[in-house]
Chain A
Amino acid sequence: MPAADAMTSHEAARQIARRRRRAWSCSLAIHGLLLCGGFLFLFPLAWMISTSLKPLDQTMRMPPQWIPDPIQWKNYLEAVRYIPFFTYARNTLVIAVLGTLGTILSSAIVAYGFARIEWKGRDKVFLVLLATMMVPFPVTMVPMYAVFRELHWIGTYRPLWVPAWFGASAFNVFLLRQFFMTIPRDLSDAACIDGCSELGIFWRVVAPLSRPALAVIALFHFLYCWNDFLGPLIYLINQDTFTLALGLQFYQSRQGGTPWNLLMAASTLVVTPIIALFFFTQRTFIQGITMSGLKG
């Protein structure tokens, strides 16, 4: 009997060891796959930075040189001068800041009307709002252009930020409504008893409690403005009013794409602020995507 016991415990120990070995090789395989994938995903960004620091002749050397030698920082100076980078950055910021302010304010007010006040027909109107998310931009593009043309807004920034002040992004309204619904009713009721008006409840109770959700939509709208290409392409005419995205494309098309080191320097300059923003607000970002993906 003791011999059999020893056998089984010995057997069990071996099994545990085998299982552990399998788990270990499994996690090794997962790390291997993720490292390979991660390398492929990061490589283009690394290559962009590497090219941006090379002298022109080195960009065309075969086999490619991984690390620039010498590192040519002056590419950035040249790129900044060639594409009037600071002018374009300022233009982009004007649109993004005005648009983001409008989005936060208008989406929050509208979402409050849909989430915290019960009125007749509310749910039907909300369905209409949801349905507008389905409308592709090209359908409304031409009439909106015609309207803005009548208003003499073509060539100004107004077509790019004014709609944001009117709850134009149904998606943001939807997101905020979902968030507002999770705030306990009692808080509003208490404020109501204290004599707070509906607007007061919105401003003093609901809005302060919703800072994370407001941050999410602010971030997303800012990013949208920074990356938007079609809007500026349609509405902006003069070169000195271009945004970064439009200016970068304009510069590239005029160059016919030869000075790759300067183009990569300019691209790096356009990408870096967004990546920096991401690192400072990583949690908000991930939270926001999670919110937008699941409640849909």
Chain B
Amino acid sequence: MTNRERRNLRNGLLFILPWVAGFAAFIAYPLGASIYFSLCDYSVLKAPIYIGGANYQELATDPIFWESMGNTLFFAMLFLPLSTGLAISLALLLNTGVRGMAAYRTIFFLPSLTPMVASGILWMWMLNGEYGVVNHALNYLLRPFGVEAPTWLQSTTWAKPAIVLMSLWGVGYAVVIYLAALQDVPLQLYEAADLDGARWHSKVRHITLPLLSPAIFFNVVMGLITALQIFALPYVLTNGAGGPGRSTTFYAMYLYNCAFRYLRMGYACAMAWILFLIILGLTLVIHRASRRHVFYAGG
């Protein structure tokens, strides 16, 4: 090692030192400890007691665990395609060179800034079964057909779709990402397609979507990770109860309740590790599937 290399190594390590300390304290140690706690009976008030795989065994037969997992997957599977489709459609509309694009973009983006708590309370009011403005409008439209609007958050069937609806309201963030990616698509490609007499939909299919695919991939993975951890919105809507019934008891909510309401920290750690594995697994699946469909222009 030359003098210069040695100096660089020392300087480099000195610069990343804050992160190394943070990594040790806030990532590495907690990861290890949480594996160990997941094998323990641990209430945080007393020292952990090793119990082997008992937490995992109990989880396998815990109906609330399975229900919360089902709720979460239901939410993610409904929310991800809808939000991706909506965000791409809005971005395509905004990218048509329409006048006032920046103003429209701001309008779609604003709701995504609303804090979850405020947006939860606001939607609780709008979806209120008795005085809610949404049902007032829906009933006005549906009554002639003899259909009643659902009671949303009071209904075990409609509570989850209601949460999907609220989450879709915050889709503007993704719209801005897609819009930026769309504006990077070279115009010559469209001009060439125009010369060949290509129609709008074939241009979208053969030029826009392939070039957009890296952004779609990134957004789907990030969306999946956030969707599987949905917490604040259902917590606010139900004050942590996850009702009606258990219809809005999502995975992270049950995990939080196990840890901080029932003080079953070891059990919660076991749940957290299962969540981690699910996220890793699904990300891997998406990555595999994307290899054939994602097109990186830069190679």
Binding site for B on A (CB under 8 A): 27, 30-31, 33-34, 37-38, 41-42, 44-45, 47-48, 51, 59-60, 62-64, 106, 109-110, 112-114, 117-120, 122, 125, 128-129, 132, 134-147, 149, 163, 165-168, 173, 198, 202, 223, 226-227, 229-230, 233-234, 244-246, 248-249, 252-253, 257, 260, 263-264, 267, 270-271, 274-275, 278, 282, 286, 289-290, 292-294, 296
Contacts and interface: CB of A to CB of B under 8 A. Distances in A.
Given A30-B93, A41-B172, A117-B11, A110 B19 contact: yes
29 contacts: A31-B98, A44-B169, A47-B125, A48-B125, A109-B18, A110-B19, A117-B8, A117-B12, A117-B15, A119-B13, A129-B23, A132-B23, A134-B225, A139-B31, A141-B259, A141-B272, A142-B30, A167-B22, A198-B11, A249-B235, A263-B121, A267-B122, A270-B118, A271-B115, A271-B118, A278-B113, A289-B176, A290-B180, A293-B215
A142 B34 contact: yes
A120 B113 CA distance: 41
A153 B99 CA distance: 53
B236 A142 contact: no
B283 A59 contact: no
A168 to B, nearest CB: 5
B113 A165 contact: no
Contact of B136 (A63, A145, A252, A264): A63
Contacts of A294: 177, 180-181, 184, 214-215
Q: Which of A63, A120, A122, A167 is the most central at the interface, judged by chain B CB atoms within 10 Å of its CB?
A: A167
Contacts of A275: 110, 113
Nearest to A287: B180
B223 to A, nearest CB: 12
Contacts of A64: 131, 133, 136
Interface in B201-242: 214-215, 218-219, 222, 225, 228-229, 231-232, 235-236, 239
A289 B173 contact: yes
Contact of B126 (A44, A62, A149, A234): A44
B182 to A, nearest CB: 11
Contact of B8 (A51, A119, A129, A136): A119
Contacts of B49: none
A227 B123 contact: no
Contact of B31 (A60, A135, A226, A292): A135
Given A41-B111, A117-B12, A132-B27, 6 more contacts: A37-B93, A47-B126, A138-B256, A140-B34, A245-B115, A248-B115
B90 to A, nearest CB: 6
B259 A142 contact: yes
Nearest to A106: B18
Given A134-B279, A141-B272, A146-B265, A120 B9 contact: yes
A293 B236 contact: no
Contacts of A274: 113-115
B23 to A, nearest CB: 7
B107 interface: yes
B19 A173 contact: yes
A53 B27 CA distance: 46
Interface of B: 1, 5, 8-9, 11-16, 18-19, 21-23, 25-27, 29-31, 33-34, 37, 42, 44, 90, 93-94, 96, 98, 104-111, 113-126, 128, 130-131, 133, 136, 169, 172-173, 176-177, 180-181, 184, 214-215, 218-219, 222, 225, 228-229, 231-232, 235-236, 239, 252, 255-256, 259-260, 265, 268-269, 271-273, 275-276, 279-280, 283
Contacts of A248: 115, 117-118, 121
A275 B114 CA distance: 8
A37 B114 CA distance: 18
Nearest to A109: B15
Nearest to A116: B15
Nearest to A170: B19
Contact of A62 (B136, B172, B275): B136
Contact of B14 (A113, A129, A168): A113
B117 A270 contact: yes
Contact of A289 (B98, B106, B180): B180
Contact of B16 (A125, A198, A226, A260): A125
Nearest to B258: A142
Given A117-B15, A139-B272, A270-B118, A293 B133 contact: no
Contact of B108 (A37, A129, A140, A252): A37
Contacts of A292: 177
Contacts of A44: 111, 119, 122-123, 126, 169
Q: Which of A44, A198, A244, A248 is the most central at the interface, judged by chain B CB atoms within 10 Å of its CB?
A: A44
A142 B18 contact: no
A145 B268 CA distance: 12
B252 A138 contact: yes
A217 B201 CA distance: 38
A48 B271 CA distance: 37
A149 B279 CA distance: 29
Contacts of A271: 113-115, 118
